A and B are shown apart, each in its own frame.
Chain A
C-alpha cells in the first residue's frame, strides 16, 4: 500500500536533509547499518537468486590445519572461497597490519581453481601483501581466531554442551579478519562495476561475500573440530547460536582516505541513504502491520543496545544515552498515536529529532528505512559508480568562485593560520604502506602529506581565482595555475555530487578519524562498533545474518539489530 502512495507522491517527496547537515563527522560517525548496507545487499542477492553453498574440498586435520574450498553458485555464476589454515603460536598472533602470520588466509576466486592455481595460492596466500596473486582472485584476506572464545566453544561442543550465550554475546565471533583487500591489490582482479553479468558488480560485494563465507567456514570448522575431539559425545552449534556468530574485524586508518578519495562514490552512498529516508518520511499512511513493525524495531534496537557494551568512555556514554532515548521513545504515548496519523514517520521524526542525540537520530533512520525494502530496492542499484578522471568543462572562473562561496562556506570561515587547524597531517607509512596521522609540530614528513587539508586548498584556490579575469574558463585558470587542479576538480565534483565532501577540517585538532571509519563501516553493515581509540575500532559483520542453509527461510532478509537472549 505504501508503495502505491509513494508512486503518486514521487514529485512531492519530503525534502532530503542537506549536505551541510549530513556531511559532518559527528553525524557520519553516528551511522548504523541500514537495509542499503552492502552486507544486507549481499544477503538479498543470495536469497533472490537462490545461491547454494557447498564444501567441495576439506583437507583439514584434527588440529585445524590444512585447506578447504567452498563453492557458492547461482544459475549464472560460480565463485569459491579458498582457505588455508596455518599453525601459529600465540605470540605470533596479532591483529596489527604489520603481522606476518595468521591462523587463516583466504581468497574469493572466480570459478573453482585448477590444481596449478591452488598450488600457486598455497604459496602466496600465506604471505599476503608480500605475494603476487592471480587475476582470478577477487579478494585477498586473513583472519585470526578469537582464541578464548574459539577454545571455549570447542571444549563445550566436544563435551556435548552448547556454549555460554553470554560469552557469545560479549565477543560475537569465532574469527576476526584483519584486512580484506579487493580491487586489484597485489595483482588480484580489478573491480569492474560496468560488467553487467557480474552479480558482484555493486560496491564491496566481493569483499562481503568473502567475509560471509569465512563466517560459514569458521562455524563448519568448529563443528568439525568438536567432532574430531569429542567423537560421539560432541554436538554441533545450535542454529540459534550459529546465526548469532558473525565475523570480527579490526579496522584502522587504512580505511579513512577512501572516503576522501572517492567523492562521487561516497555521494552515491550517502545520497541513496538520504533518499531512502526522504521516501519513507513521505509515506502518507501506515498499515497496522507496518505500524507494529516500526514499534517492534524500536524495541529491538533497545534490546540490541543492551548487548552493545564497550570499554571506550565516549562510545559507552553514547550507548547509555541511546538506550535511555530508545526506551523513552517506545514508552512515549505519542508514539502509537503518531503512527496512526497521516505522514506518520515524518511526524515521529519531527517530534523527536530535536530531543534526541545524533546516535539515536541515526538509529531511527535505520529503523524507519527497514520495513520498506520495496520502496528503496532501486537505490541499492545506484550505489556504485566510477570516479571521473577528467574535470567537467563548462565552468568559468566566476562560476567556480560562486560554487566555492556556496558549497565551501564552512571551509572559507576557518582560520587556517590557527595552529589547531594545522595540528595533524596525513601520510602513507613506509612500514606497511598504510595511512597514518602525524602531528605537524612533532613529526617529520609533513612535506609528503596527503592532500586532505581541503579548507586550506579551498582558501588558496579562492584567492587565485579572484585574481583572474572572471570570464576565462576553469581549464584556463588551471593552465595558468596548475597548482589548483586538485582542488578545482573537487569543487566541480562537489557541485554535482554534494554528498561527496566531508565538511570538517581533517587536519584540525578536533578531528576524530574514528568517525570516518564508522561511516564507511556502517555502509558495510557493521554492528557493535567497539572503538579502541580515536584511530581504530573493532566491529562485527554478519551477526544475525542467515547461514547458507537458512537463506530461503521466511523473513531471512530481516536481520537488523542482532540479539541473542541469554539463558
Chain B
C-alpha cells in the first residue's frame, strides 16, 4: 500500500479524466469528488478506474436529461453539475445513476461550500442528505446502477438521521500501488514530448 496526498489524488485524477476526453471543467469536478471521497474514507481509486473504463466503452452517460438503466448517468463525471442544476432550479430530478457515492461527494462539496441542503432518495428511502455543512449517508454503499431522486431539502420534511452516518474527514489515505500506477499511466497520456522549440530558451 502507498501513502498519497490529497493533492496527488486531485492532480492525477484530473489528468486521468482528461485523458479519456472529459472536458476540463468536468474533469476538475470529477477530481474534486475523488479527493472528497479519499478525504472522507471512501473507496475511490478503483471506482475512478472503473468509471473511466465504462465511459470509454460508451456505457455511461453525461446527459442529465437522458439516461437509462443500460446507459446511466456517471455520478463521477457529472455529479457536481447535477447537484448545482437541482439546487439552482429548485427542482426534483429522477434518473439512473452509476456509482452514487460520487453524487454523495458532490452533495458534500456543495453543502460545505454553498450551504445547499439536498436529499438523495432511492425507492422513497433517504440514503443521503446535507444539513448545514454536514453530510449524512446510508452506511452501506453499493457500486452499481440504481434509480434515484435528488431534490432540495425543505425544512418541513422529517426523517430519521439515526439510519444515516455522519461523514467526517479522516487521515490521508493509503492506496493499492497497482491501481495508483494505472491512474498515473492514464494521466501520463495527457503529457506531450518536449519539442526542440519548447526547450529553446526555457532553461529550466
Interface residues of A (CB under 8 A from B): 95-97, 132, 134-135, 178, 183-191, 250-254, 388-394, 427-431, 433-434, 436-439, 442-445, 448, 451, 473-476, 478-479, 482-489, 532-536
- Judge whether B24 is part of the interface by a CB distance below 8 angstroms: yes
With A393-B116, A489-B25: A533-B202 Cβ-Cβ less than 8 Å: yes
Question: Is B192 within 8 A of A486, CB to CB?
Answer: no
Residue of B whose beta carbon sits closest to that of A183:
B7
Question: Is B25 within 8 A of A430, CB to CB?
Answer: no
Question: Is A253 within 8 A of B5, CB to CB?
Answer: no
Q: Which residues of B lie under 8 Å from residue A184 when comparing CB positions?
A: 5-8
Residue of A whose beta carbon sits closest to that of B65:
A479
Q: Which residues of A lie under 8 Å from residue B25 when comparing CB positions?
A: 478, 482, 484-489
Question: Is B198 within 8 A of A443, CB to CB?
Answer: yes
**A489→B15 CA distance, assembly (Å):** 18
- Which 6 A-B residue pairs are closest in the complex by CB-CB distance? A485-B25, A184-B7, A184-B5, A252-B204, A445-B192, A486-B25
Question: Is A251 within 8 A of B24, CB to CB?
Answer: no
25 residue pairs of the A-B complex, CB under 8 angstroms, read A132-B2, A184-B6, A184-B8, A186-B8, A190-B7, A190-B172, A253-B202, A253-B204, A389-B36, A428-B15, A429-B198, A430-B192, A430-B193, A430-B194, A436-B202, A438-B197, A442-B197, A443-B195, A473-B89, A478-B25, A479-B65, A483-B23, A485-B29, A533-B201, A533-B203
**A486→B28 CA distance, assembly (Å):** 8
Question: Is A442 within 8 A of B204, CB to CB?
Answer: no
**A391→B110 CA distance, assembly (Å):** 9
Q: Which residues of B lie under 8 Å from residue A97 when comparing CB positions?
A: 204
Question: Is B204 within 8 A of A254, CB to CB?
Answer: yes
With A427-B191, A429-B192, A485-B23: A535-B201 Cβ-Cβ less than 8 Å: yes
Taking the closest CB of chain B, its distance from the CB of A427, in whole angstroms, is 4
Number of interface residues, chain B, beta carbon within 8 A: 48
With A184-B6, A187-B8, A429-B194: A252-B203 Cβ-Cβ less than 8 Å: yes
From B23, B29, B88, B172, contact of A389 by CB (8 A) = B29
From A135, A186, A486, A535, contact of B23 by CB (8 A) = A486
From B5, B78, B197, contact of A188 by CB (8 A) = B5
Question: Is A389 within 8 A of B80, CB to CB?
Answer: yes
Question: Is B6 within 8 A of A190, CB to CB?
Answer: yes
Interface residues of B (CB under 8 A from A): 2-8, 15, 23-26, 28-29, 32, 36, 62, 64-65, 78, 80-81, 83-85, 87-89, 106, 109-110, 113-114, 116, 172, 188, 190-195, 197-198, 201-204
**A391→B24 CA distance, assembly (Å):** 14
A393-B87, A485-B26 provided; 7 other pairs, C-beta below 8 A? A184-B7, A186-B8, A187-B2, A188-B5, A252-B202, A489-B25, A535-B201
Taking the closest CB of chain A, its distance from the CB of B9, in whole angstroms, is 9
Question: Is A536 within 8 A of B203, CB to CB?
Answer: yes
Q: Which residues of B lie under 8 Å from residue A433 when comparing CB positions?
A: 191
